[in-house]
């Protein structure tokens, strides 16, 4: 049994946090799926790197502009993104079918420039859902205050949603309840899927910097612990929100819980294990989306020690409480991280548009 299938047997589906044309065309993604990868996620940063750092899309830019010289850079981007997501969805379709719609998904994000606009987010999500035209698409919507009502609306319309940039229990509960309200309004909730992307390593990066500033022995002992502790508290809340008593009437209509998806699981601090955010976040009905380097590391030397999410809940509470005692305002940390995350994706998107503008200009200039 592969490591990827082993972790799935323990409850966690491993998804691949990367997409690029050559991966789709040369069989790379198909090989990963055969090995046990069960989904793909993308974001503006991933597409920016894929298009800017390779020539994979240059012929497509040239062809698109020959067909329609007036194409905007956003038109170009969407044509590439939609084509890639469709191809990935088709490769993953057997996983989707075999799992009865539990796995086999590919994510495509609405423009991060719309993060503070509810109606515009809803309109773009509807348009992308229709354009991709695959049942195993997840449209990514950020967990901003304006994103919450958009999520409710989209779920109510039967559109699958990957809610991204969740850092706090408050963020998580607000979108989980939006999902529940959306299910209540849905004509048929049985085929609706959603994941809540809860970010991990970024939490440690910022929290550790504040602990280093505090500099006390107690503060330094907490480094590298906040991300896992925060995630375990979120998983406990998930079990409360989607337990049989709370979710039973919707489950009777065929609805599925909104799974927690652990995102930002590449280890950023070289002092920590490069599979830390995989091994410590294993548990029933969860997803872990990991970048290529983390996938390779887990294949090479990762272990599946069991359902680690089900243990250490008291210790997680103690870690979060201890942060306050060391002068770290954890609520401020998670709020800052969401603001920075929205800004980072917006910057990546704008950088992508600039790259496409440059390449299109070269094509137009011959």
Residues recognised as catalytic: 140
Do the beta carbons of residue 83 and residue 117 sit within 8 Å?
no
Q: Compute φ and ψ for 287, nearest 5 degrees.
A: -130, 145
Rounded CA separation 306/288 (Å) = 15
DSSP H or E segment with residue 230: helix 226-241
d(CA 215, CA 27): 49
237 CB-near residues (< 8 Å, 6+ apart): 169, 172, 173, 176
Report which DSSP code applies to 196. E
Q: What number of residues does the chain have?
A: 366
- Rounded CA-CA distance 146/156 in Å is 16
Cα radius of gyration rounded to whole Å, the chain: 20
3-state secondary structure 300-359: HHCCCCCCHHHCCHHHHHHHHHHHHHCCCCHHHHHHHHHHHHHHHHHHHHHHHHHHHHHH
Q: Nearest to residue 334, comparing CAs of 200, 218, 215, 140?
A: 200
Cβ–Cβ < 8 Å for 179, 156: no
Nearest to 154 by CA among 183, 190, 177: 183
Question: In whole angstroms, what is the distance from residue 155 CA to residue 21 CA?
Answer: 30
């Amino acid at each position: 049994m592969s490591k990827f299938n082993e972790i799935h047997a323990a409850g966690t589906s491993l998804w691949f946090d990367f997409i690029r044309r050559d991966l789709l065309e040369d069989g790379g993604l198909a090989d990963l799926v055969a090995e046990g990868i069960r989904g793909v996620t993308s974001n503006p940063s991933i597409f920016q790197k894929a298009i800017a750092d390779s020539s994979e899309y240059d012929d497509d830019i040239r062809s698109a502009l020959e067909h329609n010289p007036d194409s905007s850079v956003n038109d170009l981007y969407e044509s590439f993104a939609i084509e890639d997501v469709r191809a990935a969805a088709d490769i993953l379709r057997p996983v989707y079918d075999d799992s009865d719609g539990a796995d086999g998904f590919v994510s495509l994000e609405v423009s991060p420039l719309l993060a503070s606009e509810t109606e515009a987010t809803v309109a773009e999500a509807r348009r992308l859902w229709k354009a991709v035209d695959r049942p195993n698409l997840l449209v990514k919507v950020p967990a901003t205050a304006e994103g919450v009502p958009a999520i409710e609306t989209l779920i109510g319309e039967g559109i699958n949603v990957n809610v991204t940039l969740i850092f706090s229990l408050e963020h998580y509960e607000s979108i989980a309840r939006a999902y529940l309200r959306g299910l209540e309004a849905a004509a048929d909730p049985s085929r609706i899927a959603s994941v809540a992307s809860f970010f991990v390593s970024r939490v440690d990066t910022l929290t550790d910097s504040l602990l280093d500033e505090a500099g006390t022995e107690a503060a330094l002992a907490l480094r590298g612990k906040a991300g896992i502790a925060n995630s375990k508290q979120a998983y406990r809340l998930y079990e409360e929100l989607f337990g049989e008593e709370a979710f039973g009437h919707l489950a009777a209509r065929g609805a599925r819980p909104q799974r927690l998806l652990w995102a930002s699981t590449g280890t950023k601090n070289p002092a920590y294990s490069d599979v830390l955010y995989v091994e410590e976040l294993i548990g029933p009905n969860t997803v872990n989306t990991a970048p290529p380097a983390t996938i390779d590391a887990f294949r090479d030397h990762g272990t599946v020690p069991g359902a680690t999410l089900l243990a250490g809940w008291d210790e997680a509470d103690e870690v979060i409480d201890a942060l306050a005692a060391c002068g770290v305002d954890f609520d401020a940390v998670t709020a800052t991280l969401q603001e920075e995350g929205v800004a980072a994706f917006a910057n990546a998107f704008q950088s992508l548009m600039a790259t496409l503008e440059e390449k299109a200009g070269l094509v137009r200039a011959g």
